[in-house]
Amino acid sequence: MDSIHLRIPGPTPIPPRIQQAMLAPMIGHRSGEFKRLYAEVTAQLPPLFGTRQRVLVLTASGTAALEAAAVNAVAPGEEVIVVVTGAFGDRFAAICERYGLITRRLEVAWGEAADPDRLRAFLRQHPKAKAVFLTYCETSTGVLNPVAELARVVREESEALVIVDGVSAIGGAPCEMDSWGLDIVVTGSQKALMLPPGLALVAVSERAWQAIEANPAPRFYLDLLAYRKAAEEASSPYTPAVSLFFGLREALAMIEEETLDAAVARHALLRDMTRAAIKALGLPLLADDAAASPTVTAVGPFDGSVLDPEALRACLRKRHGLVLAGGQKKLKGRIFRIGHMGWCAPFDILAVIAALETGLAELGYPVALGKGVQAAQEVYVRHVSRAHHGSAV
Amino acid sequence: MDSIHLRIPGPTPIPPRIQQAMLAPMIGHRSGEFKRLYAEVTAQLPPLFGTRQRVLVLTASGTAALEAAAVNAVAPGEEVIVVVTGAFGDRFAAICERYGLITRRLEVAWGEAADPDRLRAFLRQHPKAKAVFLTYCETSTGVLNPVAELARVVREESEALVIVDGVSAIGGAPCEMDSWGLDIVVTGSQKALMLPPGLALVAVSERAWQAIEANPAPRFYLDLLAYRKAAEEASSPYTPAVSLFFGLREALAMIEEETLDAAVARHALLRDMTRAAIKALGLPLLADDAAASPTVTAVGPFDGSVLDPEALRACLRKRHGLVLAGGQKKLKGRIFRIGHMGWCAPFDILAVIAALETGLAELGYPVALGKGVQAAQEVYVRHVSRAHHGSAV
């Protein structure tokens, strides 16, 4: 049995109809067919970001989109604030440092969300900051940072651009880029968009375009001005990953059929089911309820516990083909993470929890079999019942 | 009938078994499965480049690999020579200029190959050059530059690194990176490797690694040192395009089955069939026989001719679903190009030529129907007959 159940926070499983769409015969990237594909796809992307701005598509992974935001919007020698809540905020800061930006790190304990008041004080300490870098969903901890509130504080305190890593969030968490006052939001294809890795999406505000146009710092493959210019002709400046564009069109069709609101509500439900189950099993959750991401749940830390999360992951991989993620950097070996984004339904969470319970039992961890499943079921049944009675999700 | 015959110089058609391979269920990029896939693929890549060095794989298009070569090997303020023989040499130079390299362009007439003696004189004029950038196959003109001879001249005259754009060449043209003394060679997935666009491959010599290690210029997503470090653990520093890796493994299996030598010989045969046909039809060839690429043939220029290459392309697209490429930049509207690389057999060239003849007739161009096909057939039959008699290809 080599059936695999991939429940890590990206890459995520690819729905068969997206696989099928990517099988379309190859086309030239300068052809009319590609221009139509490009135009169709890019017309449907802005609602995912909550923006009326154009969304640019780069052939690269999410890290390249983070770098694109940094090198286009800020020039070397300028000051920036990076709010670091985990491994990906840390990477954002590393990119800024590498490019000679004066980088002020606002460090937050891993597993906690950034606090708007702390950011306000930090902004007052660093009034020259040209940009503030935020991580919406910090994939390494399962924390969803309050970017709307954080962005409001930035706008109240300064003229700094608000640059947001939306990699594990867009499509799974609400995003209202324009009304929240976000200036650059980036994401990747391999998360809630249900595609293989290889495409990075970048949305840019008018304010950010002004900074980008004025920025003399060198960039070529990641030059957003080149992507904007090509986009005016429904084209990509460099050869795009054509098959992933075919897949993206199908993914956007799936999201449109479900509706974006329903997709976002589904992710919240998956989070609530997962967290209820973990609590019922008596396992620790790294993030508080108020800070919990709808796309990934970190379980742990297991410091001093008899449970070794790496042994648990190995057992689940072997017995059930269930692939969960481990911890990164300072959380390595101390937590495990359940990805519940993209092509993931309540059914999948029930199965994940049921398998998890057997793994705990096999490792000798005291577990009341079925207890986690029951808690998840109760969340689900309440949700369905509320939906039947017409309440808001 | 929407059958499409894509005969442009990239992207190229995807063989069904590669499509099938890319349908493998998604896996995590930090998993043991991906490490095995990565190790298997990267073990098979060096022979394509003729090197014993490691070949790095970036998730990006070929332009990003050109940029990676430039920003890793040379620091801003250093001097470089770029041999410009067409649109892609021009892009190589534009990248160097954007990054503040003192860029000396050796301009060659489009359609001609770079001359080693001219390069020698140019090197003597610019003795401080830290690197010389060459285009192996200049896709915009169908010229295969004599990189072995050009590299030899560089080595005789200077200590400059030899950096080669092998994007439309690797897998279709011979490449002996180590014995020719090439320092960096890059290619893309969507050419002779029969994959969709989205992966870029970079091979680096010991000499070039020394320059890269000593170069303080900032780079992050395109930092080759990060790729080398990750490669030591059979991994990629940032999320790789996993489905294209599945495809690359299958493409390499196909090349191994055919043998690389046979694949290179096939491309030469496709070139010879194409050129014999074009000559028999009385159409102009942009490149001389001695400079002709095995992967793409440029036909024209049609300046002052009754034949409009754009009208011909539109006719072939409409009647036969045959997609040929037009000219780029200063050759726009003046030539058409036939791509014959990757998943392309003699059968395909016979069909392309036969369709081309009908297009010429439909546009009222004087054409002896069947004459081009016959010339291509004769080349093919001679080749098969020689092969039967055991001669070298």
Cα(B169)–Cα(B176) distance, rounded to whole angstroms? 12
- Residue type at A349 in one-letter notation: I
- State the DSSP H helix or E strand holding residue B374, giving kind and residue range, or none if neither: helix B371-388
Share of chain B above pLDDT 90, in %: 97
Note the pLDDT of residue B347.
97
Query: Would you say B10 and B61 are in contact if contact means Cβ atoms under 8 Å apart?
Result: no
**pLDDT digits over B29-41, tens only?**
999 999 999 999 9
CB-nearest partner of B6 from A13, A27, A62: A27
Nearest partner of B361 among B299, B319, B302, B300, judged by Cα: B319
Cβ-Cβ contacts under 8 Å, B8 against chain A: 28
Q: What mean pLDDT, rounded, does chain B reach?
A: 97
List, as one string, the DSSP characters of B78-110. -EEEEEE-SHHHHHHHHHHHHTT-EEEEEE--B
β-pairing verdict for A143-144 and A137-138:
antiparallel
CB contact under 8 A, B27 and A14: no
pLDDT at B382 over 60: yes
Is A62 an 8 Å CB contact of chain B?
yes
CB-nearest partner of B95 from A12, A198, A220: A220
Burial bucket for residue B47 (CB in 10 Å: 0-12, 13-18, 19+): middle
SS3 category, A194:
coil
Burial bucket for residue A375 (CB in 10 Å: 0-12, 13-18, 19+): buried
SS3 category, A16:
helix
Q: What mean pLDDT, rounded, does chain A reach?
A: 97
Which residue pairs, CB below 8 angstroms and at least 24 apart, start in A329-334? A329/A87, A329/A90, A329/A140, A330/A110, A331/A87, A331/A110, A331/A140, A331/A141, A331/A286, A331/A298, A331/A300, A331/A301, A333/A308, A333/A309, A334/A300, A334/A301, A334/A302, A334/A303, A334/A309
Share of chain B above pLDDT 70, in %: 98
Residue A393's pLDDT band (cuts 50, 70, 90): very low
Note the pLDDT of residue B153.
98
The Cα of A240 is separated from the nearest Cα of chain B by a number of Å equal to: 6
Averaged pLDDT for residues A327-356: 98
pLDDT at B190 over 80: yes
Sign of CA dihedral B103, B104, B110, B113: negative
The secondary structure of residue B329, as a DSSP letter, is G
- Residue type at B186 in one-letter notation: V
SS3 category, B59:
strand
pLDDT at A174 over 80: yes
Residue A387's pLDDT band (cuts 50, 70, 90): confident
Nearest partner of A160 among A229, A106, A226, judged by Cα: A106
Note the pLDDT of residue B68.
98
> Please, which residues bridge with residue B323 across strands?
B6
Residue B393's pLDDT band (cuts 50, 70, 90): very low
- State the DSSP H helix or E strand holding residue B188, giving kind and residue range, or none if neither: strand B184-188
CB contact under 8 A, B239 and A197: yes
Cβ-Cβ contacts under 8 Å, A61 against chain B: 59, 221, 238-241
CB contact under 8 A, A29 and B14: no
Averaged pLDDT for residues B288-295: 98
Cβ-Cβ contacts under 8 Å, A327 against chain B: none
Nearest partner of A354 among A7, A1, A111, judged by Cα: A7
Cα(B139)–Cα(B286) distance, rounded to whole angstroms? 12
**pLDDT digits over B53-99, tens only?**
999 999 999 999 999 999 999 999 999 999 999 999 999 999 999 99
Note the pLDDT of residue B199.
98
**pLDDT digits over B225-246, tens only?**
999 999 999 999 999 999 999 9
CB contact under 8 A, A11 and B95: no
Note the pLDDT of residue A38.
98
**pLDDT digits over A257-310, tens only?**
999 999 999 999 999 999 999 999 999 999 999 999 999 999 999 999 999 999
Is A87 an 8 Å CB contact of chain B?
no
- State the DSSP H helix or E strand holding residue B204, giving kind and residue range, or none if neither: strand B199-204
* Residue whose tokens read 């249900």: A194
The secondary structure of residue B140, as a DSSP letter, is T
pLDDT at A391 over 60: no
- For chain A, report the end-to-end CA distance as a whole number of angstroms: 38
Query: Would you say A200 and A57 are in contact if contact means Cβ atoms under 8 Å apart?
Result: yes
> Please, which residues bridge with residue A184 across strands?
A163, A204
Question: What values do phi and psi take at B346, rounded to 5?
Answer: -50, -40
Nearest partner of A126 among A81, A171, A82, judged by Cα: A81
SS3 category, B348:
helix
Chain A contact probe: residue of B7, B26, B296, B313 with most A CBs at under 10 A: B26
Query: Going from the N-terminus, what domains does chain A have, and what CATH number goes with each?
Result: 5-9+260-388 (3.90.1150.10), 16-256 (3.40.640.10)
Cβ-Cβ contacts under 8 Å, A190 against chain B: 26, 239, 242
Note the pLDDT of residue B388.
79
Count other Cβ atoms within 10 Å, centred on residue B3. Answer: 8
SS3 category, A208:
helix
| Residue B337 marked ligand-binding | yes
CB-nearest partner of A196 from B13, B26, B188: B26
Is A169 an 8 Å CB contact of chain B?
no
User: What CA–CA distances, in Å, run from B185 to A22, A81, B12, B133, B345?
Assistant: 29, 38, 21, 10, 26
Tell me: cis bond preceding A218? Omega within 30 of 0 counts. no
Is A238 an 8 Å CB contact of chain B?
yes
- Exposure string of A38-77, with b = 16+ CB inside 10 Å and e = fewer, is beebbebbbebbbbebbbbbbbbbbbbbbbbbbbbbbbee
Note the pLDDT of residue A1.
52
Sign of CA dihedral B87, B92, B93, B94: positive
Cα(B181)–Cα(B115) distance, rounded to whole angstroms? 18
Averaged pLDDT for residues B200-226: 98
Cα(B74)–Cα(B82) distance, rounded to whole angstroms? 13
Angle separating helix axes A371-388 and A260-280, nearest 10 degrees: 150
Is B145 an 8 Å CB contact of chain A?
no
Nearest partner of A197 among A188, A205, A206, judged by Cα: A188
The arrangement of strands across the sheet holding A199-204 comes to: A55-59, A199-204, A184-188, A161-165, A131-135, A79-84, A102-107
Note the pLDDT of residue A388.
78
Note the pLDDT of residue A278.
98
Cβ-Cβ contacts under 8 Å, B10 against chain A: 239
Nearest partner of A125 among A158, A100, A93, A92, judged by Cα: A158
Chain B contact probe: residue of A5, A61, A67 with most B CBs at under 10 A: A61
